[in-house]
Structure 1
Amino acid sequence: MTKWAGLALLPVLLAGVGTGAVQAQAKHAAGVTAAEPWKKIPIPPLHDFKPVQPTRIELANGLVIFLQPDHELPFIKGGILIRGGSRDEPADKIGLVSLYGQTWRTSGTPTESGEALDDALALKAASVETSGGLATTSLRWSSFSKDFDLVFGDAMDVLLHPAFKADKLALAKRQLDTGIARRNDDASGIAGREVSVLAYGKDSPYARETEYATVAAVKLSDLKDWHDRTVAPNNMIVSVSGDFDPAAMEAKLRQAFEGMKQGKKQLVSKGEYKDPKPGVYFVNKTDVDQSNVYIVGLGTERNNPDYYALSVMNEIFSGGFGSRVFQSVRTRLGLAYSVGGAYGASYDHPGLFTVGAATKSASTVAAVKAMEDEIGKLKTVPPTAAEMKSAKDQVLNSFVFNYDSPEKTLSEQVSLAFYGYPADFLEKYKSGIEQVTAADVTRVANKYIDEKKLAIVVVGNGAEFGGPLTGLGAVTDVDIAIPPPVAAGGPGGLPPPQ
């Protein structure tokens, strides 16, 4: 529609409104600023954060139980978190925990196949699932309240009597091999992978990758051994939420778990963490017309006393549309399609400090320099009062919504217990954030961010860069070639296709 057509419609639009509305339209057209009454609405401060806490029970054999009743809907969800995950698997069998997590459930039990269990659960709109993670493996179930006893019985059967079938392991291996074959398709995925390698080291359990050879090395006996080693009450946390009577549920869980014997407790090695070697690490991907770039270093752990100040710093620097790095690199300079970052904090090992952007190939170097400039300003330009208020509001508002239901609170309490954090960690978060000052933000920025200990990852088409990467530092070409399948057979040790 042209502007003249729009003006022609104006009398028609005004014909259906009253005189007052016409006058308001006229005032607005004359440049009179309209009132903005929504800005006068008072915004009360956040009330004290007091999430409904689950009941914690510990059995004599070391099993920990969390119960979180919630009668809003007639459902019950449960989970068993088991200590030991992919970070604990042997280096020559990377992928074992992923294969275990899938094969465990698809194999079913000696008395009921995985397919038969699928059909029985589907008829009741219920589920029983298993999975493998970084620090844990888990078994989860859900059902209508009235079907709990039956579905929980199926879950316990899977927990205590896994079948681990060879054909299901072979299927899981083929799926892992497919992922290996395609892991270099996506430029952003490559960049994320290399960020972890630089920060933690290629042999770190937080950065290493599955390969055809490590997948092929996993045998059925490895899955059975892993299960026997990890499934023990003193290595498990059981959590149940939903529509149930707490006393009756506790009695059922005691009956199911009290007879289990303790096993060897799984210990986690703290490991050693070194800052990445500075420089530019370049992956030349010729089939793309934009670059994925990251500046990377080590972050911190959540039990760090400076965690609150770092959280506010992170929000000011890279927390969203109003953050410094977004406003500078994307809005003001127009150097990136997307830009952001995080000063990561994990429970029991350092998270990652990353600042990243997706930019057109020609602006690759300029985008990195702009991000580096903002990192420097974070240390030298104190946050304004407006930045502090906005950052705290953003952090606290988003934090509260992460725990706005009993089920979410239960999940976090399980995580805190698993990693040995105090139960009131959540309640202290609000006051911790509120007490952060502008001086604290500048202090932690200077204490924890050292430009000399940061590395740069660039994944893009080198022929189209607007300037040489050497302008950012010494360049190392990164080899992302995928080692071929084991010589004895095709992917996963299976016979090669005919």
Structure 2
Amino acid sequence: MKGLSKEISTMRFAGIALTVLLTTMSAAAQTAPSKPASTKKTTAQPWKSIPIPPLHSFKPVQPKRIELDNGLVIFLQEDHELPFINGTILIRGGSRDEPADKVGLVSLYGQTWRTSGTTTVDGDKLDDELENKAASLETSGGTATTSVNWSSLKGDFDTVFAATVDLLEHPNFKADKLLLAKRQLETGISRRNDDASNIANREAIKQVYGSTNPYARQEEYATVEAVTLADLKAWHDKTVIPNGMIVAISGDFDSAAMEAKLRQAFGSMQRGDLIKTPPIHFADPEHKIYFAEKGDVDQSNVVIVGLGTERSNPDYYALSVMNEIFSGGFGSRVVQDVRTKLGLAYDVGGSFGASYDHPGIFYVIAGTKSVSTVAATQAMLAEIGKLKTEPPTPAELSKAKDQVLNSFIFHYDSPEKTLNEQVLLAFYGYPPDFLEKYKSGIEKVTSADVTRVANKYVDPSKLAIVVVGNEAEITPKLDTLGPVTNLDISIPPPPGEPSN
């Protein structure tokens, strides 16, 4: 009651003040000489007259590239700002290459490799040795690669690098560490339906790529349990070959001395047969509405999804600008219209994704109240349609290009960031000047280019709609939008256990 009384008192005070102000203004108006009517003055906006110079030429400091006779590629990037040295070994072969009946193998390999240690140093002992030096050494499995990463003070580099080479050449995969990794992975499986947004993202990826596609497959209890120590050893022997590896090092060192160390460490490794990624088929998803029930929520997660493109696509620059106009932040069309003007979503965004060697994903995603699920979906679809019919205004185009270029520069504003990008470009076979061409490519994009790529690549009839929410609270019902296909998100039980 005290808070309410205080609010009423404040309102009364404001009312008295307003009455006094109006009385004073009325008296002033009666005594002041009359003036002829004049047009309303425009508020000065001096900041708009501040000249904005064009961006400087983008010339990031390029790392030194070396290729050994055995095919190993090395990148060295000196950076003497701090007395640290960081290293990465990128190894060709990832989860997209693992057998369908052993999905999870690469993830288990990436964890067990490091925790097991080597034939000379136990993983737990290695933890202690690294901790005493404030250093790190980690291994991990990814979609197209596995990797080894290490970091240390400059003075400890030789010791930590020696441990890295030992781990690379003499791994000692242990049964108890594999079991621990399996339990951790299986815990994630058991909880994968806890969060509605995670369900929506996962099911959307399945719809756009297909559930059996290597980029959309998911671990199950059965596939995880099928992985053995022999599988980990075989994977290691198959992938750790010099002609399938890139070594990248950045930090406080002399390039000539570092090159000599790397040649000595890796020069005697023998070439091998590169892992072959099987052909992967990509097709547009079916234009359907898919629904997953999540009865313990009072909101819906909506994802509209389709195929994106690759970065090698000549239209990549125009698509990047289109993406910024459509969904590139709070000033974008989808945020301004669906969230700000219509108030149909508390969170909305999207992207026309571009991957290095396969189609990315085009998606528009929103979190909305259950009762506004249909309206929010309709508004998102309308915005997608406007991409094809409403060319960007000069202001939209200019703003989008500025935002793309400004954010792009900050992605590569340090030697280490530039090094990481050069490693990826080399891994996927892109030219080393790809970054430099990006700036000029964006600057050349016109309004007509944006409309052209929108009509070429955005087809509402080739987009799937995935909704995760509480069906009982969604009004009007989802079938207002069309026929609905229910998704089965149940988790298959571990081998030998009965289904629920």
- TM-score normalized by the length of structure 2: 0.91
- Show structure 2 runs of 5+ residues with no match: 1-6, 18-39
Partner residue, 2:459: 450
Partner residue, 1:25: none
Residues 226-245 of structure 1 correspond to what in structure 2 (within 5 A)? 226-245=235-254
Local SS of the residue matching 1:353: strand
Residues 419-458 of structure 1 correspond to what in structure 2 (within 5 A)? 419-458=428-467
8 Å CA contact retained: 1:199, 1:276: yes
Residues 482-497 of structure 1 correspond to what in structure 2 (within 5 A)? 482-487=491-496
Q: CA deviation at 1:35?
A: 5.8
Partner residue, 2:20: none
Q: Match of 1:194, as an amino acid?
A: E
Distance across 1 between alignment mates of 2:497 and 2:471: 37
Q: CA deviation at 1:269?
A: 3.3
Equivalent residue for 2:162, pick from 146, 150, 153: 153
Q: CA deviation at 1:347?
A: 0.3
Kindly indicate whether residue 73 of structure 2 is the aligned counterpart of residue 78 of structure 1. Answer: no
Local SS of the residue matching 2:467: strand
Local SS of the residue matching 1:303: coil
Partner residue, 2:295: 286
Give percent identity, aligned residues only.
71
Q: CA RMSD in A?
A: 1.9
Distance across 1 between alignment mates of 2:102 and 2:278: 18
Partner residue, 1:473: 482
Q: CA deviation at 1:110?
A: 1.4
Kindly indicate whether residue 197 of structure 2 is the aligned counterpart of residue 216 of structure 1. Answer: no
- 1:189-214 deviation line (CA, Å, top 9, x unaligned): 00000111000100001111100000
Partner residue, 1:374: 383
Partner residue, 1:62: 71
Distance across 2 between alignment mates of 1:418 and 1:147: 29
Residues 63-462 of structure 1 correspond to what in structure 2 (within 5 A)? 63-462=72-471
8 Å CA contact retained: 1:285, 1:460: yes
> Which range is displaced more, 262-271 or 145-154?
262-271
Distance 1:32 1:254, change over 3 A: same
8 Å CA contact retained: 1:270, 1:349: no
Q: Match of 1:486, as an amino acid?
A: P
Distance 1:388 1:34, change over 3 A: closer
Partner residue, 1:12: none
> Which range is displaced more, 446-455 or 405-414?
446-455
Q: Match of 2:426, as an amino acid?
A: A
8 Å CA contact retained: 1:130, 1:139: yes
Local SS of the residue matching 1:486: coil
- 1:443-486 deviation line (CA, Å, top 9, x unaligned): 00000111111110000001111212112222100000000011
- 1:107-146 deviation line (CA, Å, top 9, x unaligned): 0111111111111111111111100000000001110111
- 1:19-50 deviation line (CA, Å, top 9, x unaligned): xxxxxxxxxxxx99886554443322111110
Q: CA deviation at 1:217?
A: 0.2
Partner residue, 2:30: none
Q: Match of 2:456, as an amino acid?
A: K
Local SS of the residue matching 2:151: strand
Distance across 1 between alignment mates of 2:128 and 2:44: 62
Distance across 2 between alignment mates of 1:313 and 1:488: 50
- Show structure 1 runs of 5+ residues with no match: 10-30, 491-498
Partner residue, 1:14: none
- TM-score normalized by the length of structure 1: 0.92
Local SS of the residue matching 1:277: coil
How many positions carry a matched residue from both structures? 469
